[in-house]
Structure 1
Amino acid sequence: MSRSFARVPAPVNAHSHAFHRILRGRTHQGAPGGAGNFWSWRGQMYHAAAGLTPASYEQLATAVFAEMVVSGWSAVGEFHYVHHDVDGAPYAGAAEHGMELALARAAQAAGIRLVLLDSCYLQGGLAASGTVLELNETQKRFSDGDAARWLERHGRLAAALAAVDAGEGLVGLGAAIHSVRAVPPAALEHIAAGLDPALPLHVHLSEQPAENEACQAAYGLSPTGLLERAGLLTARLSAVHATHLSGADIAALGAAGAGIVMCPSTEADLGDGIGPARELADAGAVIALGSDQHAVLDPYLEQRALEHGARLRSGERGCFSPTELSAAARTGGLRSLGLGENEDYLKVRTDSVRTAGSRAAQLPLTATAADITEVHINGQLVARDGIHFRLGDPAGLYAAFFKANPEFS
């Protein structure tokens, strides 16, 4: 039986934490009988991070990136902060970048474009009073000690990734500041002065009201204000989540032309709230999309959730046109990750039970990843009908990971 298709540019996933995929379907309850919240979820996330090794991370990330590919994502910004050994000590010698290279090899195996957003993470957070918290035992894996040492390791990482990429053009390097909770003002200024200005820079921003309150108590500014004071609020910055913003924050991010990476399925799953996406876009910010913790890996569901969130926030339909949704999934992501235009594309069924009768331009409001029949990346057909050409069914990769690593089961 013949099928009908639309050819569409392939979406870009601008925010991922690959290891968070361990938590899918396992963190929806906090204490016994309780639903939990972002902070109880965060504790379980730390437990997952504590057990990763380069070998187990490569196996897991290969499955995650393969699932991304068969779901239609062509590129990913991996916001990475699990840098060091389980005791917090740097991996020695040639193994220094073991965790980072594990992600690079996983991306190559899956055939997805990877921008590794290597993250600076220096302190354990901020208490509600504004008091700086010490790193906990798991967070020690994330920290290089100070901004200078992070910049030094980041500089060495570029050559290591280039050696793995070997001219294929799939793996690149970006940078990230985990959050203003994890990086103090002096370090922000050091990064502003020392980081290559050509690199994309990402930061978790105002995901929770508690972050804003603690930042205000500690520094007398909102997180956006603190970044602006440090000289980091520019067009190369992408603020991830940006859920709880004041009018002044929105104006500042818009005036800078900053990127805003919304992760609607994660923000809904964690109960973060609905961010001011329409207001940010109207102010001049550029919206992109990410899957963050991978509660869902489906670029169409992220586009739909962006629009539905804006409708719930405003009480109006059509807050984002289908063209704007497609742009957030594609051109906003390319810009956020510092990637140029390319010929990556999908073939999407227009005659499925979900899409039959849809106008082609309105597929972001009707299609899902199940309607993607072909995925083409870097000139290669890498997946068809949910099956990866080289790696097979990603479900099998996950089964093998959990069998080999029962501590995560």
Structure 2
Amino acid sequence: MIAFWCETALVSIDGGAGARGSGAGGSTAAAGVRLEVENFRISSISTGVQPEPGDQVLNGVVFPAAANAHSHAFHRILRGRTHDGRGDFWVWREQMYRSAAELTPEKYEKLATAVFTEMVVSGFSSVAEFHYVHHEPEGTPYAEPHAMELALARAAVAAGIRLTLLDTLYLAGGIGTPLSPEQARFGDADAQAWLDRLASLRVEIARNFPPDMVSVGAALHSVRGVPEDALKTVARQLPDDIPLHIHLSEQPAENEACLQAYGVTPAGLLARHGLLSAQLSAVHATHLTPEDIQLLGDAGGTVVMCPSTEADLADGIGPARALSDAGAIIALGTDQHAVIDPWVEMRTLEHGERLGSGQRGRFSPQELLRAATVGATASMGTPIASALEVGAVCDLMAVAPDSVRTAGSMPQQFAFSATASDVTAVVIAGELVASNGVHVRLGAPGRLLMEALKEFS
């Protein structure tokens, strides 16, 4: 048995882990909290106690670790390199394609290890990696089956983060447009070929990695990247025991093209083929009609907001509050990694709502914490850190209450003051993996990133 003694911890007071971010549940900051851990899960909780011999001590305020529900690890190459001059998402996308063209399995494993390490020291214990760089640059498969996918899985294991590898279907460069040469390595022959490759990948990952640390999910790049006939095939044949993600209505141009081609919005197109469900995570969902919001809410699925990316790319402010009120579950992701910081994503979500509505308090601090943790439950194939309660996986992050940012803050309101720089310890599956910004096994993520990024132009 392992035990952690927490100076202070935000513990569940009413079983919030099963709430899936619905607005129910609550927590309180308790002093002297001792967590006993068996089989990587919390087996007992005591409050108001002193540490016992052999306990691992976590100073500061301990929270459930965060879940990153949307990541493109290779986009980290672009941080600080895309800000000269004006432009929009489409201009940025061309720069992204140039970075994708440089990836090899070896370079990607090194880069992803560094990126996942940055996530871990920032307080994330799990990530959903939306992965579409499958093949050689000209589009032919690698000699080693699933070379890129296995590279990402090895990177996650090295960093100690739980990975849901979202193997992505990407067949078109736009509605009615074939893949461009820059996109060739993203594609498969057709939806059936992708389904076959997905099935093979699931077998390979299950054979080589523990399921609570690495699992396989599925993704459709977007309605721009997946024609309607392919959507029909996926709807008929996709296994119902894995998460399904899609970029949805990220740009007005996507909506306009979908309306012109199919007579409905992207959300309407998914509904037409029965793809709106609790299995689905719609990423961004920035430009929605009231009818779209109701469709997503009625489906009870997850909407993954990526506030720092949406701001960085000038995408717009998505209707997060309206989606939540309609019944959708809100989760958070770091997407292109302009920032890797769960606390920044939390408050940027709320700040966007405030700027769009002229009102404060659109999401309570507790709702923001749920969005950063259990909101991602249906988005992931691996366990999610829920409230600190018996039965929850032991994925924790400790935050300093006395930094220049958090001093004087109520622990329940750290979403409005803390940053990743205040994370003093991260525990994943009952193991201390990061301390004061340094990975226990791999060292400082900045060094890893510098070494990995040297290989890219």
Please state which band the TM-score falls in when normalised by the shorter chain.
over 0.9
1:8 alignment partner in structure 2: 63
Residues 350-381 of structure 1: CA distance to partner in whole angstroms, max 9, x if unpaired? Answer: 11111111111101111000110000001110
- Which of the numbers 339, 342, 345 marks the counterpart of 1:296? 339
Structure 2 residue 197 is the aligned partner of structure 1 residue 149 = no
Asked if 1:368 corresponds to 2:419, the answer is yes
CA displacement 1:316-360 (0-9 Å, x = unmatched): 000000000000000011232144452201111111111111111
Mapped to 2, the partners of 1:4 and 1:100 lie a distance apart of 37
| Alpha-carbon shift at residue 304 of structure 1 (Å) | 0.6
Matched, 1:122 2:171: yes
Q: Secondary structure at the match of 1:118?
A: strand
Give the Å deviation of 1:251. 0.3
Aligned residue number for residue 221 of structure 2: 178
Is 1:188 aligned with 2:231?
yes
**Is 1:200 matched with 2:243?**
yes
Unmatched tracts of structure 2, length 5 or more = 1-6, 8-57, 384-391
Shift of 1:168: 6.4
1-side partners of 2:211 and 2:135: how far apart? Answer: 27
Question: Does the 8 Å CA contact 1:28/1:36 hold for their aligned counterparts?
Answer: no
More strand by share: 2
Partner residue in 2 for 1:169: 212
Question: Is 1:21 aligned with 2:64?
Answer: no
Paired residue type of 2:411? A
Determine the structure 2 residue equivalent to 1:112. 161
Q: Deviations over 1:146-176 (max 9, x none)?
A: 00000000000011112331x3631001000
Cα distance between partner residues in 1 of 2:406 and 2:233: 50
| Partner in structure 2 of residue 68 of structure 1 | 119
Where 1:43 maps in the other structure, the secondary structure is helix
Residues 1:96 and 2:139 aligned together: no
Q: Does 1:308 align with 2:368?
A: no
| Partner Cα distance (1:348, 1:16) in 2 | 23
2:351 partner letter: H
Q: Distance in 1 between matches of 2:324 and 2:93?
A: 29
The DSSP-based 3-state class of the residue aligned with 2:124 is: coil
Q: Which amino acid aligns with 1:301?
A: V
- Partner-residue secondary structure (3-state), 1:367: coil
Query: Is the contact made by 1:240 and 1:260 (CA closer than 8 Å) also made in structure 2?
Result: yes
Task: Give the match's secondary structure for 1:173.
Answer: strand
Instruction: Name the residue aligned to 1:393.
Output: 444
Counterparts of 1:129-148 in structure 2 under 5 Å?
132-148=176-192
| Inter-partner Cα distance in structure 2 for 1:68 and 1:164 | 23
Alignment partner of 1:59: what SS?
helix
Measured after TM superposition, the shift of residue 145 of structure 1 is 1.4
Q: After the TM superposition, which parts of structure 1 deviate over 6 Å for at least 4 consecutive aligned residues?
A: none
Distance in 2 separating the partners of 1:223 and 1:168: 33
Q: Is the 8 A contact 1:104 1:164 kept in 2?
A: no
Letter in 2 for 1:114: L
* Equivalent runs, 1:242-281 vs 2, <5 Å: 242-281=285-324
SS of residue in 1 equivalent to 2:172: coil
Task: Describe the SS at the equivalent of 1:232.
Answer: coil
Task: Normalising by structure 1, report the TM-score.
Answer: 0.94
Q: 1:344, 1:46 → 2: CA distance?
A: 35
Assess if the C-alpha contact under 8 Å between 1:179 and 1:205 holds in 2.
yes
Whose helix fraction is larger, Structure 1's or Structure 2's? 1
8 Å Cα contact 2:215-2:382 kept in structure 1:
no
What's 2:202 paired with? 158
Q: CA separation of 1:379/1:296 partners in 2, compared to 1, >3 Å: closer, same or farther?
A: same
**Secondary structure in 1 aligned to 2:393?**
coil
Rounded Cα–Cα distance in structure 2 between residues aligned with 1:72 and 1:395: 15
Q: What is the letter of the counterpart of residue 366 of structure 1?
A: S
Cα deviations across residues 280-314 of structure 1 (Å, max 9, x unaligned)? 00000000000000000000000010000111111
Q: Which residue of 1 aligns with 2:89?
A: 38
- One-letter amino acid of the counterpart of residue 5, structure 1: G
Distance in 1, matches of 2:219 and 2:166, equals 5
Assess if the C-alpha contact under 8 Å between 2:211 and 2:382 holds in 1.
no
Q: Is the 8 A contact 2:59 2:398 kept in 1?
A: no
Letter of the structure 2 residue corresponding to residue 111 of structure 1: G
How far apart in 2 are the matches of 1:168 and 1:206?
32
| Aligned counterparts of 1:224 and 1:335: Cα–Cα separation in 2 | 19
Per-residue CA deviations over 1:217-258 (Å, capped at 9, x if unaligned) read: 111110000000011000110000000000000000000001
Q: Which amino acid aligns with 2:247?
A: H
Residue in structure 1 matched with residue 13 of structure 2 by the alignment: none
What is the Cα deviation at residue 90 of structure 1?
1.0
Distance 2:255 2:181 in 1: 25
Q: Percent identity over the alignment?
A: 60
Give secondary structure in 2 for the equivalent of 1:74.
strand
Structure 2 CA distance for aligned equivalents of residues 338 and 51 of structure 1: 29
Q: Write the distance in 2 (CA, Å) between the matches of 1:273 and 1:188.
A: 27
* Bigger Rg over Cα: 2
CA deviation map 1:102-141 (0-9, x unaligned): 0000000000000001000001113xxxxx1121112110
Contact 2:171–2:178, Cα closer than 8 Å, also in 1: no
Shift of 1:4: 5.7
C-alpha contact (below 8 Å) 1:4/1:351 kept by paired residues? no
Question: Considering only aligned residues, what root-mean-square deviation do their CA atoms show, in Å?
Answer: 1.2
Distance in 1 (alpha carbons) for counterparts of 2:149 and 2:287: 31
